[in-house]
Structure formats: structure tokens, C-alpha cells
Amino acid sequence: MDYKILGKDTSPEALKALSSKDRAVLCDELRDKILETVSQRGGHLASNLGVVELTVALLSVFDYRKDSIVFDVGHQSYSYKLLTGRFDKFDTLRQKGGISGFPRISESPYDSFDTGHSSTSISAALGMARARDLDKKDNYVVAVIGDGAMTGGLSYEALNDAGHSKTKMIIILNDNEMSIDRNVGGFSKYLQGVRISSGYISAKATTESFLKKLGIVGRFFIKVILAIKDFLRFILYRKKPSMFEDLGLNYYGPVDGHNTEELIKSLNAVKDINHPVLLHIVTKKGKGYAPAENNPSDYHGVGPFDLATGVVKTGKGSYTTAFAGALTSIAQENPKVIAVTAAMCQGTGLESFSMKFPSRFFDCGIAEGHCVTMAGGLAVKGYIPVVAIYSSFLQRAYDEMITDVCFMNLHVVFAIDRAGFVGQDGHTHHGLIDLSYLNSMVNMRVFAPRDYKDLRNCLYYAVNNCEGPVAVRYPRGSSPFEAEGPLYELPEDCIKPHIAQDFGSDFAIISIGKMCREASFAVTELDKAGLSGRHINLSYVKPLPIADLDKALHGITTVFTLEEGIMSGGVGEAIIRGLGALNKGYKVYDFAVKNTLIKASSPEDQLKTAGIDGESIRTKIECILMQKNV
């Protein structure tokens, strides 16, 4: 597509020089490019469509070569990337060797901070603002945070610090949950326009400065003026003073987040205030594309879809849907089962559960630590909370898992979705360290099911046959081995080693969870080459069933372990220690991930990059057994 402005000169000077008409054209072109690319590649759609005008306004006011703009989570940075030198590479979005779906310092000098998790922008921006002041520089620092990220406690810690310190910075609160007309209409809208004008702000600052010089008398008049202002605001808006002002920030808004010219006016008015400013803007997720506007959750993180109809191209079933169906079935039998998540009802597959058992479902918002401790409170009172959170995000509740669940040996079940490599979202979303930190937690039991049937059995066993904390970790995507049969068939089998293949006694591979697929390929190919071995799959990995594992090995002493997690502290290391303690001459080789910074591509390619795909394992084992160089 031939664009009038997009893809041409988008230097800070060129963007500032655009007319209002050209800025409107640019916004349309950005939406077209984002829709075209995401429909083919997948990605975060609704959030990006919602901040097009904001991004154009930001880059029309600030200089991206020296000013710092920090996007919270970062999944809404597509327009920013297109306008900061990455238009020609945008078709590689979230592909191997391409640009990331999130800001990355390693990708561009204009990305201020690596993001991917929620509620971090204000903290990072405050640090940058303090660094600027220490360096005696005058550049601007802006944090862009969505209302969803404001459910995270870290954002309030940062707001409190910023307000207390009075450090100059701008926080843009992108509120995409309500209409602008609900808050601003008629005379109140006019007054808001006056309040956000540079003349008003300048007069306000001059008046405050003069009154402060009068000492006690001046401070008294300031309090009187503020009280009158709060009273008038309550009369006009039926609103009490802003919480943000109570924290020490200058609050302005709400402003129409889809009116580029109004945004530019507002940003120019507040940018030189020598205190932290919070500019409240109102936007609509999915703006400009009806399917995304009507169903923003469905188009939050979306796979390839038909641009004309909005129909998403669906694939096979997934571990997530298998978990969701099993949990709903278990909860039907056991009224003590509760489902808990952290703003991931749809992502973790709990929508059907929430509709069937609304009183037994709790979404705690983007607050993983609170989510876990709240589940501990439920468990203390006899309920069985199943906490469903992505592996990458559960890291944020590490302390709460230890102190508020494990130390008290509370029966909380952690359903850890997206364990292992996740594909196009890249390294900030990989679930590669959960096995390592779960192994360090007292009283914790850990399951890593290999397929849907095994997942259902592990979950059933974790809920109904265990005491204390239990984790069931499973990957993103579809299972290589879909099993037919009853929903729960001998669930106690999930705690025993499973002999998946038995060709001979030259060696044995112990695979963890879904790595059963890669191990099966390696064992089969090695057998064709005359090296016959046994493949044992483990679903129950903590505490390790060492006696049963020793029995399953049945005299084979050359052993290879295979897991989709980091090597340090992983299951392989635990197997080495456990088998070594038997003093039976076991020689164990540990195959796991050594580098967690593996970037966006397909999960299959990420396994290959890590050297733990079936072909890489086959080659490594052959070299070791044939005493070649690995």
C-alpha cells in the first residue's frame, strides 16, 4: 500500500510540522498498517488501535531522540515503532529475526525501557527522571499506563514515591473503560478546557509561587483556594478531589484520547510543570475496527485473522482448554473448589467456569501477589483455590507463594499456563524458570503433564488427592498426543514414571512433561541408527519418585534428562542428585535451556535454538554414546 505520510520522513521535526489534516491522515494510515500486519502475523490489536492518536500527539510534542517515553506492558507500542524508524521492518513483527511486539532497548535507541509485564512504567520513568536531574539535563520523561495496569500495586508504590519526591515527569493514564461524554459535557467540558490551557497553568503556578513567599499567611490562602476549588469541582462533577492529587500529583483530565489536536494542546500545557503531572485521557480499545471495538478482549492478543470479516483462524485444541474443561468438571463434583486468576479470565480459559460458578470465581486484577495471598486466605478456611496464572507472570508472586502458602502448607493449586517457550511474545513471556523456583519451595508438589489426558489426571489428583501446595505446569498450544477415553482414568498413575518407549538398554531418556514428543523422536531415530534405548516420561517431578525411577531404568546407567526449563535448579539437576545418592553408577547428562533470552519465533524454532528439539537431542546423544565431540 502506498502511504502519503507513513513510511516517509517521520523525524521529530517532520512530525511536529504536520498540519492537523495531515495528522488525521497519518492516524488512518497507522491503523491500516497495524490491521494489515496483525491480521497476517497475529499480535496485540485492540490496545494498539486505541492509542494511535495518543502516539501521534506524543511524537508531535516530544523528541523521541532525547525524550524518554515508557509504554507500560509495551503491547501498545506498534504505532510508536512505525514512527521511530521501523516502518520497513514492521512486516517482520513477532517473527524470527524480526522486530519485537514490545519495546526493546536492543532493537532501537528510541525504546526507553524493555517492557512486557504490567505496572512497571511509572517506576521506570521515575528512575529516568531522577537520573536526568542528577545529570542536570532538561529532557522530558513520560510514562504511558493503561487503566488495567493500575490494578497492579507496583503502580501505586511508584505514584506515591513520585508525588512525595515532586520529581518532574508526566504520567498519562489511558482510560479505555468509559466514554468521554460521561465525565465531560457542556459547561464542565468548557471549564476542563480552560484548566488544561497553558495560560491557566502558568497563572496557577505564578499565584502559588507568590503566595508561598508570604509564609504562613500565604499557605493559609493556598488552603482556602484549594478548598473552594474542591467544592466547585464537587458541585460541577459530583466528584471528590482526585486520589492522584492526594498523592501529590497535579491531575488534569479527562481529555478525549482520540482527538489528536486536543491531546497536543494538553501535552504542551503540562509538559513544563515542575512537578509530577498525571494527564487522564479516555480512549476506546479497538478504535477504528468494529470487531475489535465490539469485542476488545477477543482482539487483545490475537492470532492471524480475516481482515474483512474479523474471523480468527483457529487451530487445534489447547492445554488451556483441556485445563478449563477439567476444572469445571472437578468443581461440579467438589463445591470447595474455587477458581482464581489475575486479570486473565479469558487467557487461562476460565470464562466458562466464571459463568457456571460465578460465586466461586475471583479475578483479582493485575495483582499476582495479592491473588496468591488471597488464595491462601481461602485455603485457611477450608476451600481449595485453583490459581490460574501464566508462568511468566507468576514470577511476580514468588514471595507470597513461599510465605503465604508454602510455609503454612496450605492446599492451594497453582495452574501454571504458558510454561516453557511461548513463541512470538518472546523472552519477557517465556515460562522457563518456574520449575527452578518451584523446586526451591518447601512443601510444594509439582506436576508437568505430557498431554491433555495427563493434564486432566494431574489436575484431578492435585485437587482431590494432595495436601498442601501443588503446581501443575503446562505449555501454550496444542498437545502432540491427544488421548481418547474417560476424563479421569486412573489419576494416581500420574505420580509414577511412564515408560513411553522401550527399544533396548543402551541408554535412557527421562523427559519432563510435553518434552515427551522431542524425546520420542530422538529415541526412535537413534534406534534406527543402531542405538537402542528406553524413553521414560515424568509428570510428577517434585518430590521426585526416585525409587520408582530407579525401578523403571532397570539397570540402564547412561541416562539423559530433557526439560523445557532452565538448567540451573531444574528437574535434571534434581535427578542427578537423586540417582547419584543411590550409588549405582548412574551417569546422567542434563539437557535443558541455558539461555532464557531467546527472542520471538515459533516455539518449535525456540526449542531448536535452545538445542533441546528432537533432532538436536538425537545428535547430542549419538555423539556422547559414540564418544564423538558434541
Single out the catalytic residue among 23, 265, 284, 368. 368
Query: What is residue 312's predicted lDDT score, i.e. its pLDDT?
Result: 82
Residues 463 and 509 reside in one and the same domain: no
Residues 366 and 460 reside in one and the same domain: yes
Query: What is residue 243's predicted lDDT score, i.e. its pLDDT?
Result: 79
**pLDDT confidence bin for 182, thresholds 50/70/90:** very low
pTM: 0.87
Average pLDDT over all residues of the chain: 89
Residues 21 and 89 reside in one and the same domain: yes
Residues 259 and 351 reside in one and the same domain: no
Q: What residues make up the domain containing 429?
A: 319-492
C-beta of residue 527 within 8 angstroms of C-beta of residue 504? yes
Mean pLDDT of 202-217: 61
Question: How many helices and strands in the chain, by DSSP H and E?
Answer: 25, 19
Does the pLDDT of residue 453 top 50, yes or no? yes
CATH number for the domain including 453?
A: 3.40.50.970
3 state SS for 238-303: CCCCCHHHHCCCEEEEEEECCCHHHHHHHHHHHCCCCCEEEEEEECCCCCCCHHHHHCCCCCCEEC
- Please report whether residue 34 resides in a domain: yes
Query: What is residue 620's predicted lDDT score, i.e. its pLDDT?
Result: 96
C-beta of residue 338 within 8 angstroms of C-beta of residue 378? yes
- Please report whether residue 208 resides in a domain: no
Residues 541 and 592 reside in one and the same domain: yes
Query: What is residue 150's predicted lDDT score, i.e. its pLDDT?
Result: 87
Domain boundary among 302, 337, 366: 302
pLDDT digit string, tens, across residues 283-326:
999 999 999 988 888 888 888 888 888 888 766 678 999 999 99
Residues 425 and 512 reside in one and the same domain: no
107 catalytically annotated: no
Query: What is residue 187's predicted lDDT score, i.e. its pLDDT?
Result: 32
Single out the catalytic residue among 94, 132, 396, 456. 396
Residues 257 and 166 reside in one and the same domain: yes
Higher model confidence: residue 623 or residue 243?
623
Q: Cα–Cα distance between 354 and 339 in angstroms, integer?
A: 8
Single out the catalytic residue among 41, 81, 104, 285. 285
Higher model confidence: residue 233 or residue 212?
212
- Please report whether residue 4 resides in a domain: no
- Please report whether residue 224 resides in a domain: no
pLDDT digit string, tens, across residues 218-255:
666 556 555 555 544 554 444 545 678 888 899 998 89
Residues 323 and 466 reside in one and the same domain: yes
Higher model confidence: residue 302 or residue 434?
434
Mean pLDDT of 354-361: 97
CATH number for the domain including 606?
A: 3.40.50.920
564 catalytically annotated: no
Q: How many domains does the chain have?
A: 3
pLDDT digit string, tens, across residues 22-55:
999 999 999 999 999 999 999 999 999 999 999 9
Does the pLDDT of residue 275 top 50, yes or no? yes
User: Which of 247-256, 409-418, 497-506, 540-549 is predicted with the least confidence, judged by mean pLDDT?
Assistant: 247-256
- Please report whether residue 235 resides in a domain: no
pLDDT digit string, tens, across residues 540-586:
999 999 999 999 999 999 999 999 999 999 999 999 999 999 999 99
3 state SS for 190-255: HHHHHHCCHHHHHHHHHHHHHHHCCCHHHHHHHHHHHHHHHHHHHHHHCCCCCHHHHCCCEEEEEE
Query: What is residue 238's predicted lDDT score, i.e. its pLDDT?
Result: 46
Mean pLDDT of 591-620: 95
Query: What is residue 485's predicted lDDT score, i.e. its pLDDT?
Result: 45
29 catalytically annotated: no
- Please report whether residue 535 resides in a domain: yes
Higher model confidence: residue 4 or residue 213?
4
Does the pLDDT of residue 70 top 60, yes or no? yes
Mean pLDDT of 164-176: 93
Which of the given ranges, 5-9, 98-102, 406-410, 488-492, has the highest pLDDT on average? 406-410
Mean pLDDT of 580-600: 95
- Please report whether residue 310 resides in a domain: no
